[in-house]
Amino acid sequence: MDYYKNRTLTFNNVNIVEGYSVAGPKENDGRYKGFFDLALKDDMFGQNTFERAERKMFEHAIEGVIAKANLVDADINGIVGGDLLNQIVSMSFAARKHNVGFLGLYNACATFVESLIVGSTLVSCGYENVVCTAGSHFSTAERQYRYPLELGVLRSPVTQWTATGVGATIVSNNSEQIVPKVTRATVGHVVDYGIMDVNNMGAAMAPSACDTLVTFFKDTGTRPEDYDVIYTGDLGKLGSDILLDLTRQEGYDISAQQHDCGASLYWDEQQTYQGGSGAACSALVFNAVLLGRLRRGEYSKILLAGTGALMSPTTSFQGDSIPAITHLVEVCI
Amino acid sequence: MDYYKNRTLTFNNVNIVEGYSVAGPKENDGRYKGFFDLALKDDMFGQNTFERAERKMFEHAIEGVIAKANLVDADINGIVGGDLLNQIVSMSFAARKHNVGFLGLYNACATFVESLIVGSTLVSCGYENVVCTAGSHFSTAERQYRYPLELGVLRSPVTQWTATGVGATIVSNNSEQIVPKVTRATVGHVVDYGIMDVNNMGAAMAPSACDTLVTFFKDTGTRPEDYDVIYTGDLGKLGSDILLDLTRQEGYDISAQQHDCGASLYWDEQQTYQGGSGAACSALVFNAVLLGRLRRGEYSKILLAGTGALMSPTTSFQGDSIPAITHLVEVCI
């Protein structure tokens, strides 16, 4: 891979003061049952469309994280984030409930880590508190990106299952307590290895994850063993295997540290094949699982590398391959 | 309007070192004929689909602005921006040509000003050079948001015409020359007045433009007369009239300073009715027109307020109203 040393940012005072997660029923039947702040009993969430249910999850996550941090809207300077729907409407419509600055983001399933990076820059530029958020919904994504649910299309064994959930995190330049901090970040670049199979996104994203991880290690002079864990976003099981091979070729063995948010989300019996995908994977696992382990001292230094596939149905119909991107944050306590 | 004093950022060293614009044929037949770095003879730009033509405009604008600034890819730390297509694919696919960090943004037609804000925060956090970009294409937007072009649907007199073009700007923390600077920015919040008519976006966006402008004036203690011009993004003629009324009710008369990028883009004979719309409006007018006037000393202080309507066809079909957002930057030399 080509390496340019100019993409890693350092932050001095970005405190992660609170996290909140809203998970779908299948997600709360998975490996992290009971970890979520709110687990839905059904994925309609009392709404008349799946899209409105997704929006309501965002509304709950944003309100939830602000209340959990003992803050009110007037304390919040900005909300940054996005989702997988066209024109990121779940995020945008949820944001209208708050008289707070809003920056809409889209980097597919890497959007949650993108939101942490943009939130960290805003906090470094003077905003006191910023809500960083992202999420996805199986039923809205399935009908927008693939087939009508009613069609009952058989799934390929290399597919993943779009996770239903929203995670929200408040980053702040003002914290009286010792909390986890976003200390460094590497903004990913777009990597395209010509993968055309939209059912095999793990393979399309693995080279990008390798690129960003290796760039971060070189930029900072760190090694995989400096970290307790390295969580990728939603490579799935197959994509994770490819990533381990690719990083090994670059001289970094991450097999002892690497986990994948998507691959870890469900039990095998839940038949998601390669595991979860979607912007919810890293948003849920970070807010519901990793943040708690950092606070309790189980981890002191972690990397979270959000992975995203940047195609649309239109580009696939027009014969284009799948570009991918991976953004990374280092979180320490 | 409710007013919270916590959304305006101040930047100390964000230099606008270069701008570049690629415009469609109709745009170069309009009021700014000859102002653009590249004017297309036809809006297919040698491609076999409109979507690929839009992508190629982005590629040209990014390469163009880097070359015009006498830089190479290795000097650029990041590209930030977006477009109006689902999953911002024009921007994302264009970004894969560069081994440079990429953050995808989406705030509809406010995306260009959003990109200037995010670029300014990155430069303030240590990135040396960031490309900020946004654009749109009449023919891709029309068939994604409205009707197939072949249908020949009659347009309502309150409609606007999605502009074809891409603008790109390099912001830098390193400039030996005296160049315009991004000095302050107000991140907009989402305002929804319940407008349901997707043909009348100017009316949906005007309250949002008022909100952000008045917030900026109050945050900074400035008045409209402190600025040579105040350009809104794509309110159109009708939307601009509404904005003048709304700001007057808040105690600010901006009628002597206000222009609208979209409304000023075409001649009346070009039959765009209320003028241009789309992410290209502010991107084209800022890079092709305003930047030159600042450099030549014709203006010394301006405001650019990018306006965006955040609905999607899906939300409109499901009976939702049109939320809007306006981001503002102050540019001084």
On whether any CB of chain A is under 8 Å from the CB of B63, the answer is: no
Region B105-120 average pLDDT: 98
Are A312 and A146 spatial neighbours (Cβ–Cβ below 8 Å)?
no
CB contact under 8 A, B189 and A117: no
What element of type H or E holds A325?
A: strand A324-332
Distance CA A313, CA B182 (A): 37
C-alpha B249: how far from chain center: 26
The residues near A43 (Cβ < 8 Å, ≥ 6 apart) are: A24, A25, A26, A50, A53, A137, A138, A139, A164
Whether the predicted pLDDT of A293 surpasses 90: yes
Beta strands in A105-180 (DSSP E): 129-136, 161-162, 165-172
Backbone phi and psi for residue A41, each to the nearest 5 degrees, phi listed first: -80, -35
**Lookup: tokens for B34:** 């000859």
User: Please, which pLDDT band fits residue A5 given cuts at 50, 70 and 90?
Assistant: low
Residues 183-222 of B with CB under 8 A from A: 186-192
In chain B, residues 75-134 whose CB comes closer than 8 Å to chain A: 76-78, 82, 85-89, 92-93, 95-96, 98-108, 114, 117-118, 120-122, 124-128
Which helix (H) or strand (E) covers residue A114, if one does? helix A111-124
pLDDT tier at A3, thresholds 50, 70, 90: confident
Exposed e or buried b per residue across A104-140, where buried means at least 16 C-beta atoms within 10 angstroms of its C-beta? bbbbbbbbbbbbbbbbbbbbbbebbbbbbbbbbbbbb
Residue closest to B173 by CA, chosen among B95, B105, B77: B77
Range A13-31 average pLDDT: 97
Q: How many helices, marked H, and strands, marked E, lie in chain B?
A: 11, 14
pLDDT score recorded for residue B273: 87
Interatomic CA distance for residues B326 and B10, integer angstroms: 17
Angle at B181 between CA B178 and CA B184, to 5 degrees: 155
What is the per-residue pLDDT for A282? Answer: 98
Q: Does B226 touch chain A (CB under 8 A)?
A: no
- Best to test chain B binding among A12, A54, A92 (most B CBs inside 10 Å): A92
Is the Cβ pair A86, B86 closer than 8 Å?
Answer: yes
Find the mean pLDDT for residues A108-125.
98
B4 has a pLDDT exceeding 80:
no
pLDDT score recorded for residue A320: 94
- Token reading at A75: 């304390």
Question: Helix (H, G, I), strand (E, B), or coil: what is residue B25?
Answer: helix
Helix H or strand E encompassing B55: helix B50-68
Task: Kindly report the average pLDDT of chain A as a whole number.
Answer: 95
Q: What is the pLDDT of residue A4?
A: 67
Q: What's the mean pLDDT in A184-196?
A: 94
Task: Judge: B189–A95 Cβ closer than 8 Å, yes or no.
Answer: yes
DSSP state of A150: G
**Distance (Å, whole) CA A210 – CA A218:** 12
pLDDT at A43: 95
Distance of alpha carbon A282 from alpha carbon A265, whole angstroms: 10
Does residue B199 surpass a pLDDT of 90?
A: no
| Among the ranges given (A199-208, B20-29, B125-134), the one the predictor scored with the smallest mean pLDDT | A199-208
**Per-residue confidence band for B157, with pLDDT thresholds at 50, 70 and 90:** confident
Q: Which residues of B touch A101 (CB under 8 A)?
A: 7, 186-189
Please list every residue in chain A whose beta carbon sits closer than 8 Å to the beta carbon of residue B216: none
Cβ contact A105–B104 (<8 Å): yes
Instruction: Find chain A residues with C-beta within 8 A of B313's C-beta.
Output: 86
Task: Please give, rounded to a whole number of angstroms, the shortest distance from the CA of A247 to a CA of chain B.
Answer: 18
Helices (H) and strands (E) in chain A, counts: 11, 14
Helix axes B138-145, B50-68, angle to 10 degrees: 140
pLDDT for residue A234:
96
User: Using the beta-carbon criterion (under 8 Å), do B51 and A318 form an inter-chain contact?
Assistant: yes
Whole-model pTM?
0.97
Alpha-carbon span A85 to A67, nearest angstrom? 27
Other Cβ atoms within 10 Å of B108 Cβ, number: 33
Residue A166 to residue A88: CA distance in whole angstroms:
13
pLDDT, one tens digit per residue, over A159-182 is 889 999 999 999 999 988 899 999
Dig out the tokens for B46 from the structure. 């040698």
Q: How confident is the model at residue B154 (pLDDT cuts 50, 70, 90)?
A: confident
Q: State pLDDT tens for residues B223-238.
A: 999 999 999 999 999 9
Q: Residue A101: which of B85, B93, B188 has the nearest Cβ?
A: B188
B144 touches B85 (CB < 8 A): yes
Mean pLDDT computed over A211-219: 96
Question: Is A127 in Cβ contact with B124 (below 8 Å)?
Answer: no
What is the share, in percent, of chain B residues with pLDDT greater than 90?
A: 87
Mean pLDDT across A4-20:
92
Interface test mutation site (partner A, options B3, B6, B143, max chain A beta carbons within 10 A) = B6
Q: Any chain B CB within 8 A of the CB of A145?
A: no
**B155 contacts chain A (CB < 8 A):** no
DSSP letter (8 states) at residue A251: T
Q: Are B24 and B10 in contact (CB under 8 A)?
A: no
Residue pair B275/B31 in contact (Cβ under 8 Å)? The answer is no
CA gap A33, B200 in Å, rounded: 47
CA distance B113 to A16: 28
Lowest mean pLDDT among A111-120, A148-157, B24-33, B70-79: A148-157
**Who among B96, B189, B314 is closest to A89 (CB)?**
B314
For chain A, what percent of residues have pLDDT higher than 90?
87
pLDDT at B1 over 70: no
CA torsion B155-B156-B157-B162 (nearest 10°) is -60
Alpha-carbon gap: B202 to the closest alpha carbon of chain A (Å): 18
Look at residue A147 in the predicted model and tell me its pLDDT: 86
Report the C-alpha gap between B175 and B10 in whole angstroms: 18
Coil vs helix vs strand at B79: strand
Beta-carbon separation of A106 and B88 below 8 A: yes
Nearest to B323 among A78, A93, A320 (CB): A93
